[in-house]
Amino acid sequence: MQLFLDTTDVGVLKDLAATGLVDGVTTNPTLIAKSGRPMLEVIAEICDLVEGPVSAEVAATDVAGMLAEGEKLAAIASNVVVKVPLTRDGLIAVQEFAVQGIQTNVTLCFSAAQALLAAKAGASYISPFVGRLDDHGADGMELISEIRAIYDNFDFDTEILAASIRTPAHVTAAALAGSDCATIPPDVFAALFKHPLTEKGLSQFLADWAKTGQSIL
């Protein structure tokens, strides 16, 4: 499963990308606002840091506006993926982007029926918001499983990008449910490396090694 970082913090991105385990980046208007920087500048800088897909979201809600904004965003770099809301106009725009060869990430997906429409429209990625569904008493991972089954039934090329990830357990569950990718906040990404038994075991190994008085070098 591909792991994307959900961030516009270039410093954090540089640090975590150094692991070689970051496959791409997703952004949204909220993250851009928090950065306090011009959107096009941020996206360009992120695209220089990672080779994988970088999602940049349109702000327009009508077809013409989304197409104009999406074309401008796609011109920033070859790895930009235009992020479009899952609305009627959004999916009409996605079809046109597909004709132009522009990759798209259809966001704010909360049902399997919506995901089916996005795939039919030619979306490159579908972003089901698992955490937000859990917040409202639904099962976000069940949605991932449903979308996986539908896409496999009809050989859709659209990739499932699990979003609104809150914990390392969410990442594991998304992988088990068949998600192609997950976009993860930096703190959750960092937590994937950790387990108390790993830390305890390493401390014991190092203590035992020190008792030998040996050096490998």
| Residue 52 DSSP one-character state | S
Q: Residues with Cβ < 8 Å from 188, sequence gap 6 or more?
A: 165, 166, 167, 168, 170, 171
H-assigned helices in the chain: 10-17, 29-35, 39-49, 63-74, 88-100, 112-121, 130-135, 140-154, 168-176, 186-191, 196-212
Active site residue 83: yes
From the candidates 14, 34, 72, 83, which is the catalytic residue? Answer: 83
Contact predicate 25/52, CB 8 Å: yes
Q: Residues with Cβ < 8 Å from 204, sequence gap 6 or more?
A: none
Catalytic residues: 83
